[in-house]
Structure 1
Amino acid sequence: MDRDDVSWHGYWPAAPTPFTADGALDEDAWRALLRLYVRQGVHGVLVNGSTGEWFSQSPAERRRVAEIAVTEVAGRVPVVVGVTAYTPAEAIGLARHAADAGADGVLATPPPYVHPGPEELLAFFAEVSAATDLPFMVYNWPRGVAVDMGDHPDLVRRLADLPRVAAIKDSTGDWLRMLATVEAVADRVRVFGSFLHRRGLAVLLELGGDGNIDGGGLGAPFAVPYYEAVARRDGAAARTWADRYTCLSGRLIRPDYSGVFGSPIAQLKGAMSLLGQPGGHVRPPLRPVTGTALEAIGAVLEESGLADTLAPERGAVGARP
């Protein structure tokens, strides 16, 4: 399997999982959020990733979230299911369920907390990716797992050579290291990274790369047309949309993917609440963003133009497309 075996590209939200105020999985809000993404024209959806708070869900909840996503999206865009876990056996069980549910692919980070070395990482991804016939996305997420696979350039190339690996999501905070991943493997697998800015545009147009998988998809109204302009090779339009996106994201998320006003997921759900979107509540150990921090997020939404851009669709988030 290689990059030509999938059509994965463009702007994908890494979807948050909505919870009620008392911590239950909010299935109605989850369905409404998926319908919102489809209406916004995103090019794919990642569920049960870091933004989806997989770490605070039970295995049964993770399976239910995946099932609803596949059913609700109904093939209109790809659905990739996160199966990150502490052991290969756990990840394989989730991957096999995703395959049975009809997902289009699966994704995993290195096992959190474990700090595996290069050979252990290769063995882990070889075992998990081979467990199903689904295309597999390797996720480099140093902030979450304290291992940066980009420290080992040969490892990235060896991972791209695994038979089921079709993509790499590289979320290192080191942008030049992400570029090294593009240079090393973009001719063989899809690469999702940090491309939603003018520097990223230059890379997409000249070096390679395929898309962004963005925590929550808050910037979809700017990022979807950006990638459509990239596909047309319309640099002028793409620069305009990139500038609008960075005016939003650059004031909420730092280059290392930490949040400016709180933890990134709590920030996201606070912003979605202000916009009338069905993001739901966070689960402990996360805490909601409130007070002056929430007010500051609201100012960013207004000053970036996102609130005005989304105004016509408020109140319609539960409607079917």
Structure 2
Amino acid sequence: MDRDDVDWHGYWPAAPTPFTSSGELDEDALRALLRLYVRQGVHGVLVNGSTGEWFSQSPAERRRVAEIAASELSGRIPVVVGVTAYTAAEAAELARHAEAAGADGVLATPPPYAHLGAAEIHAFYAEVSTATELPFMVYNWPRGVAVDISAHPGLAERLADLDRVVAIKDSTGDWLRMLGTVEAVADRVRVFGSFLHRRGLAVLMEIGGDGNIDGGGIGAPFAVPFYEAVRKGDRETARVWADRYAALSSRLINPDYSGVYASPISQLKAAMAILGQPGGHVRPPLLEIADDDVISAIGAVLRESGLVSALEAEDGTEARR
């Protein structure tokens, strides 16, 4: 398989997993969130990724999230299921379940905490990517797993050559390394990275790259039309939407993907609550944001970036403040 076997492109939310205030999986909220994404016109959805708090879910919960996502989205927009785990055997088992549930693809980081070397990373992906017939997305997430695929010369190319790998999500905090990944493998696999700004637009138009997979997807009103304009080759329109998205994201997320005000997922769910979106609560070890001043600051970003007014214009209602 290669990049031409899938049409994965554009703006994808990495969906949060909604939990109730008592910590239970909120299936109704998850379905409502997935339906919101469809209405917003996103180009695909990732579930059970880092933003989905896979690390605090049981295997049974992860399987249930995959089943709900596949039932809601398959046949409408691509749904890719995160199967990151500490061993290849665990990840492969989750991948086989995702395939049976009807997912369109699977994704995994290298195993967290283990600090694998290049040969071990390659061996891990060689095993997990062939556990099913599904297209596979490699996820480079140095902030979460303490290894950076893009820091190993030639490793991204070797992973792109694996039979079922069709995409790489490169979330290194080093933008030039991400650009190196694009240059090295975008002719063979889809590359999702940091493109929602003017530098990224230049890369998309001249070098390659395919999309962003964005934690939570609150920027959809700006990011979806950005990628629609890119698809049409309309640089001028894309530049306008890139600037609007950057005005939002740069005030919430640091270049290393940490949150400006709190842990990124806690911050995201606070923002979604302000917007009236079904993000639910976080689950320990994460904590809810309890500081009213922080919540007010996040709300100010949402208003001042124009996101609140954009959402109100979309649905004709008034977002919660």
TM over 0.5: yes
**Corresponding residue of 1:65:** 65
Distance (Å, rounded) in 1 between the aligned partners of 2:11 and 2:312: 21
SS of match in other structure, 1:11? strand
Contact residue 226 and residue 241 of structure 1 kept, 8 A: yes
SS of match in other structure, 1:153? coil
**Corresponding residue of 1:297:** 298
**Corresponding residue of 1:45:** 45
AA of the residue aligned to 1:301: L
**Corresponding residue of 1:92:** 92
SS of match in other structure, 1:247? helix
Distance (Å, rounded) in 1 between the aligned partners of 2:73 and 2:28: 14
**Corresponding residue of 1:256:** 256
Distance (Å, rounded) in 2 between the aligned partners of 1:100 and 1:220: 29
* Identity over aligned pairs, percent: 77
**Corresponding residue of 1:219:** 219
What TM-score, normalized by structure 2, do the two folds share? Answer: 0.97
**Corresponding residue of 2:155:** 155
SS of match in other structure, 2:154? helix
Unpaired runs of 5+ residues, structure 2, are: none
Closer/same/farther in 2, CA of residues 231 and 160 from structure 1, 3 Å limit = same
1:177 and 2:177 aligned: yes
Unpaired runs of 5+ residues, structure 1, are: none
Distance (Å, rounded) in 2 between the aligned partners of 1:316 and 1:23: 28
**Corresponding residue of 2:245:** 245
Question: How large is the RMSD of aligned CA atoms in angstroms?
Answer: 1.2
Contact residue 149 and residue 156 of structure 1 kept, 8 A: yes
Distance (Å, rounded) in 2 between the aligned partners of 1:282 and 1:302: 23
AA of the residue aligned to 1:25: L
**Corresponding residue of 1:19:** 19
Deviation of 1:153 (Å): 2.5
AA of the residue aligned to 2:128: V
Give matches, 1:129-140, under 5 Å.
129-140=129-140
Contact residue 276 and residue 314 of structure 1 kept, 8 A: no
Deviation of 1:315 (Å): 6.6
Distance (Å, rounded) in 2 between the aligned partners of 1:55 and 1:295: 29
Distance (Å, rounded) in 1 between the aligned partners of 2:79 and 2:265: 20
AA of the residue aligned to 2:27: E
What TM-score, normalized by structure 1, do the two folds share? Answer: 0.97
Residue correspondences, number: 317
Contact residue 31 and residue 69 of structure 1 kept, 8 A: yes
Distance (Å, rounded) in 2 between the aligned partners of 1:131 and 1:314: 46
1:274 and 2:297 aligned: no
Distance (Å, rounded) in 2 between the aligned partners of 1:314 and 1:289: 29
Contact residue 74 and residue 103 of structure 2 kept, 8 A: no
Distance (Å, rounded) in 2 between the aligned partners of 1:207 and 1:31: 37
Larger CA deviation: 66-75 vs 194-203: 66-75
Contact residue 80 and residue 104 of structure 1 kept, 8 A: yes
SS of match in other structure, 2:13? strand
Closer/same/farther in 2, CA of residues 74 and 156 from structure 1, 3 Å limit = closer
Deviation of 1:314 (Å): 7.3
